[in-house]
Chains A and B, each alone.
Chain A
Amino acid sequence: MIRQAFSDLFERLGSTSRRGIRPATLRESSLRSRIMPTPIPRELILSLQHYPDTSAKDVSSMKPCVEVGEWVAKYQLIAREKGPNATRLHAPTSGTVQAIEEIPPAVNGQRARLAIRLLTDTDERELPLEPPSDYRSLAPEQMIQLIEDAGICGMGGAGFPTATKVRDALEKGVKTLIINGVECEPYISCDEALIRERADLTVQGAELLQAACLADDCVIVIDNAMPAARQALKEKLQGSAIKLQVVRRRYPAGDERQLVKAVCRREVPNDGHPTDIGVLVQNIGTAVAVYEAIVHAKPCISRIVTLTGSALLTPKNFDAPIGTPVQHLLNLCGVNENQHEFTIRGGSMMGQYLMDQAAPIEKTTNCIIASNNAEIPEREAEQACIRCGYCEQACPAQLQPQRLLASIRNEEWQDTVELGLDDCIECGACAVVCPSRIPLVSYFRAGKEIHNEDHSAQRQSRHWQERFQFHQYRIKKNQEKARSAKVAAQSAGEEQGFSRDQARMEISAAVERVRRRREALARETGHGEEKS
């Protein structure tokens, strides 16, 4: 009680809730209509590089298990994970595999990656699903297996495989499960639309997730700018043990760490995950997908995507099959070509410019913004830092962006580590408030990139050091062995010296052997000479 009062006081006094920024809400236009089912496009492009890790070396993190020319049914498994950081992929509809080839990168900094091109047919013939007879009596491990089979990954944007996360949470033991329905990016409305229209699935998904990770309690967190969703959730939550919490709408309140702090009033250690303090955070969209996976055994083949921006005639949310080309969705909304200058994938704060309109919707794509410079201005020339301190007030991670900037510009990497560059969540709040228009967050991303390079170089050099030490050890051991062998040979010689007869016999035998060999050799060469 007193502790609560104190932490409330401290929060009032400063740290999180006042940090961050409050951008304008631009969600209304896309929320005017209901979620729209997407007509199946002619071709689906299913990227095999699932994890949005731009530094990944491999062109794919999944292994296709279909062949070119093969016909696949809806829900059929078409690719398996290669490593721990990937999920499975299922066919969103029936059709023929046209090609398995590299597609160009969707955003800057990404590499070319492998994808399956699926030519769809109109019959939508599906594999029969085999839902568990009584999903309420499933053990946690069975539920997690179902989640894994369905290929679900975090729908919030990071895209970490949900099964791995839940399993980890189950092993470590979590107290609180947080379902993240906070939407802090100005444009994205897919979570709000989802709650508004499928609140019952959300709640049931949350319950199932809670059962899967054996959390003591579960909280659904939404922000205070979504009244309709709040109403819907409230109705469905009646009589349920799940709590509803409403947080103030600030950017980046939906960030995992911010959310944990707002709900549990505890900070996630800077080198750890929320599970380290007994918290598991899952996105709303993930909860719904989990519901489908456990109750209907339905794999994750579609997701809700917001299409918005001033260049669209009718912005709306789509229930789009994974692999739908962005262009297809844009066409469905109607594009005002005069106004359309660029497309952004992701939100206007964290998103990136889409380079290829034919790029597919992936499991982590939550928003597509078709816009122009007047609405979302591109980068301007930066001015000198005037040390106004606005960035420092905005930073939700409580860093000092201006000092970080100075040390990155001067390439003082030691200082950047001490100032906490690795704790920057790259939210971009500092860059938005900076009156000098300094693209602070870009500097921090650049700095992190160099840090990572440094780390891998150091790992490499440690490895080399170990090998060098082993090399020296090996040489030393070989020398010792040779020496001891010599000593042994000597002492053996001495021992045998006692029986002269045997020695004499051996010597004469050896002489005999050599003589015979020499003769044979002479014969041979003589032969050879004769020949030549």
Chain B
Amino acid sequence: MATLFSTIIAAALVNNLALVQLLGVSTLFSFSRQFSATVELALLSFLVLFPAACINLLLHALILQPLGLEFLQLFLFVSVSAGITALLGQQLVKLFPLLARRHIRAVLLMCSNSAVIGLSFLQSTSLSSLPIKLVYSFGAAAGFAISLLVFAALRQRIDQGSSPAALRGVPLYLISAGIASMALLGFAGLV
């Protein structure tokens, strides 16, 4: 139990996908200034990341590895995540027209998101057991969603504060992303 707990913490904070491992950073910058819209997006990215990583890992462990087909893994990972995204996108348009209208570009972007692929890659090469890997994916997905939310709030303040003209916009986002990732490094001693 304690291992599970520390795995989740490690995945969500210490090895935060976006801010520490720098996977899927583009997501942080391209999304909404509005906090309430970002909540939807965070949920969405969690819903893509977690199942995609799980399916990838399962397929990798149960099919590719026994058959010695590991060289196919990139092909597999990409197609799985694209498939999930496509399915999700379909349902989204049907059930949540507003959300789909808001985030359709984000959904498309997510199908080849480096966060999904990177997470699957890292975990498929790690030495821990399959359940731990799955739990790790859960934590990583949650951590990604959290960093999206945190960054949306941060962006709101950055946009509204008065800042030097040369730094306004993306430069300040990058600087603050750097500071945020340094702050997350502080969690390193936690587990």
Contact = CB atoms under 8 A, between A and B. Distances in A.
Direct contact of A and B (CB under 8 A): yes
Interface of A: 384, 403, 406-407, 409-410, 412, 414-415
B34 A409 contact: no
A415 B162 contact: no
A406 B34 contact: no
B159 interface: yes
Contacts of B34: 414
Contact of B161 (A406, A412, A414, A415): A406
Given A406-B157, A406-B160, A410-B159, 12 more contacts: A384-B162, A403-B157, A403-B160, A406-B161, A407-B160, A409-B160, A409-B162, A410-B160, A412-B160, A414-B34, A415-B156, A415-B160
Nearest to B160: A406
Contacts of B159: 410
Residue of B34, B157, B159, B161 contacting most chain A CB atoms (<10 Å)? B161
Contacts of B161: 406
Contacts of A410: 159-160
Residue of B34, B159, B160 contacting most chain A CB atoms (<10 Å)? B160
Contacts of B160: 403, 406-407, 409-410, 412, 415
A99 B130 CA distance: 94
Contacts of A407: 160
15 contacts: A384-B162, A403-B157, A403-B160, A406-B157, A406-B160, A406-B161, A407-B160, A409-B160, A409-B162, A410-B159, A410-B160, A412-B160, A414-B34, A415-B156, A415-B160
A231 B94 CA distance: 72
- Main SS of chain A's interface residues? helix
A353 to B, nearest CB: 29
A412 B159 CA distance: 10
A384 B160 CA distance: 13
A406 B156 CA distance: 10
A409 B157 CA distance: 12
Contacts of A415: 156, 160
A402 to B, nearest CB: 10
Contacts of A409: 160, 162
Contacts of B157: 403, 406
Interface string B71-108: 00000000000000000000000000000000000000
A497 to B, nearest CB: 55
A447 to B, nearest CB: 14
A294 B53 CA distance: 79
Nearest to A384: B162
A8 to B, nearest CB: 34
Contacts of B156: 415
Contacts of B162: 384, 409
A443 to B, nearest CB: 13
B176 to A, nearest CB: 15
A407 B159 CA distance: 9
Interface in B1-58: 34
A415 B34 CA distance: 9
A409 B162 CA distance: 10
B57 to A, nearest CB: 40
Contacts of A384: 162
Nearest to A405: B160
Interface in B105-164: 156-157, 159-162
Q: Which 7 A-B pairs have the closest CB atoms?
A: A406-B160, A410-B160, A407-B160, A406-B161, A384-B162, A412-B160, A410-B159
A268 to B, nearest CB: 26
A407 B158 CA distance: 11
B165 to A, nearest CB: 15
Contacts of A403: 157, 160
A414 B156 CA distance: 12
A409 B156 CA distance: 13
Nearest to B156: A415
B169 to A, nearest CB: 14
Contacts of A414: 34
A410 B168 CA distance: 14
Nearest to A414: B34
A411 to B, nearest CB: 10
Nearest to A406: B160
B109 to A, nearest CB: 25
Nearest to A410: B160
B166 to A, nearest CB: 17
Nearest to B36: A418
Nearest to B34: A414
B149 to A, nearest CB: 15
